[in-house]
Chains A and B, each alone.
Chain A
């Protein structure tokens, strides 16, 4: 059974870089048509997709965050990571790592079928 687990600091200072890692277990990160992504949810608010990566390194990023986001993958460890630079209080959120299954048949679909439990990251001095 596939499991995703986020890890990283729960507290980050303003202007610094938020770094999280997601470890995938129960399956391989190098499966075809599977992207690995990050989604966040500020307290009491809705979901915001941050971006995703393929095992080959191909990435998609949310345009509104693209200038501050880097997602990378380490296939040898079945892990992928998120870096969000120059954080402010507005980046305080629960961060989920997810698996996105891509379908491309004249249309595009990314079905998010597995979620980590989420980790709360607070930006505060």
Chain B
């Protein structure tokens, strides 16, 4: 059972917009910023979004993040086949201290 709650799956056709939710509590997302990670099949995860809505260098602007209260979301616009991956949200938990993850959302491009 993960501390943060994500839907197990999401899907869309190429070009569509897909949104993934991440729900937490006041002791994690409600207090601290959210980061998102993308894990392509057979590889290590990669930082996709940090501090709720910031993209590291090299991440396409098709990926965007937002946060409201104790929930956050990741949006992928103009979905592409190479976006097929698992996506994880994460945040720092204040009680007890530590990184907490969502269970992951598998995005399928139809």
Cβ of B98 and Cβ of A112 under 8 Å apart? no
Q: Are A107 and B33 in contact (CB under 8 A)?
A: yes
Which of under 10, 10 to 19, 20 to 34, or 35 or more describes the interface residues of B? 20 to 34
Count of chain A residues near B, Cβ 8 A: 26
Q: A108 — nearest CB in chain B belongs to which residue?
A: B92
Collect the chain A residues with CB atoms within 8 Å of residue B109's CB. none
Given contacts A63-B96, A110-B99, A115-B46, contact A47 B88 (CB under 8 A): yes
Q: Are A107 and B97 in contact (CB under 8 A)?
A: no
State which of B45, B50, B98 has its C-beta within 8 Å of the C-beta of A47.
B45
Which chain A residues have a beta carbon within 8 Å of chain B's beta carbons? 37, 39, 46-49, 51-52, 60-63, 96, 100, 103, 107-113, 115-118
Instruction: Enumerate chain B interface residues (CB-CB to A < 8 A).
Output: 2, 31-33, 35, 37, 44-47, 50-51, 56, 88, 90-92, 94, 96-104
